[in-house]
Structure 1
Amino acid sequence: MIRFLWSIAVSLISSVLGLLIAAWLIPGVSLSVSGFIIAVIVFTIAQGILGPFVFNVARQYASAILGGIGLVTTLISLFIASIFPGGLRIDGVLAWVLAPLVVWIVTALGGWILGYFLIKRRFGDKAEKRRKG
């Protein structure tokens, strides 16, 4: 249970970083302070739910895009998060092309790096002690 909560924390932190960096780097992507938390939560939940669904659909009908599942999921999650008013806003074709790429890169790297430091080190050390024990 604790490991699951740490995984959620990693997802939320990497989503925060991804959305902030996209808003900072890409013209046409904006976040409002008042709706930022909702945008992050909606984006993170959409990522978690859509990931396995998009993977199964792609595996069944379009196996050539399996490598781009993360990008497709990020694009759909950004779209869903942008529907909620007052949080995330993406304007323009270039912003819609670049935002999923930037957010996907940041969340993937953030997930790996934060996952290693927060989850693997914390729980990996305990598992290693038990094995040696």
Structure 2
Amino acid sequence: MLAFLIRAVIFVVSAALGLIVADLILPGFTLHWNDWWGIVLAVVIFAVLQSVLAPWLLTVARRHANAFIGGIGLLSTFVALLIAVLIPAAGIGIDGPVAWIVGTLVVWLVTALASWLLPPLFLKKQVQQRRE
């Protein structure tokens, strides 16, 4: 149970990192920093949608379009961003096609890297305890 909670926190942190990096490097991709609650809401909405959409889209792609399996992460990132932007209370805005395309790539890449690199840092102690 603890490992599940740690992984959930890591996923939310990786989502936050992805959105923050996109905000910092892309014009047109903005987090509304004056509304911290909106940013928290945007991060949580994005993280939950991403974690739900990715497995669902993978299942759909396996059944109907195997060629799209490699792009499931990008597609689920795009859809999660789209829904988060459409929610008025979420503190995120994306303007222009370049911001949408490059923003999706940046958020997906940073989230994927963080989801891969952060677990060993936080779960290392648990792995060592299980080995003993």
Q: TM-score, normalised by structure 1?
A: 0.93
For structure 2, the 5+ residue unaligned runs are none
Q: Percent identity?
A: 38
Partner of 2:97: 93
- The structure having more radius of gyration, on CA atoms, is 1
Deviation of residue 122 (structure 1)? 2.3
5+ unaligned residues in a row in structure 1: which ranges?
none
Q: How does 1:1-133 map to 2 (within 5 A)?
A: 1-33=1-33, 34=35, 35-86=38-89, 87-119=91-123, 121-129=124-132
SS in 1 for 2:46: helix
3-state secondary structure, aligned to 2:50: helix
Give how far 1:13 is off. Answer: 0.7
Where in structure 1 do 4 or more consecutive aligned residues deviate above 3 Å?
A: none
Letter in 2 for 1:76: V
Once residues 124 and 32 of structure 1 are traced to their aligned partners in structure 2, the CA distance between those partners, rounded to angstroms, is 39
Quote the RMSD (CA, aligned, Å): 0.9
For the residues of structure 1 that align with 2:122 and 2:65, how far apart are their CA atoms?
35
Provide Cα deviations, 1:66-100, integer angstroms capped at 9, x if missing partner: 11111111001101111112411000000110011
Q: Comparing 107-116 with 83-92, which one deviates more in the overlay?
A: 83-92
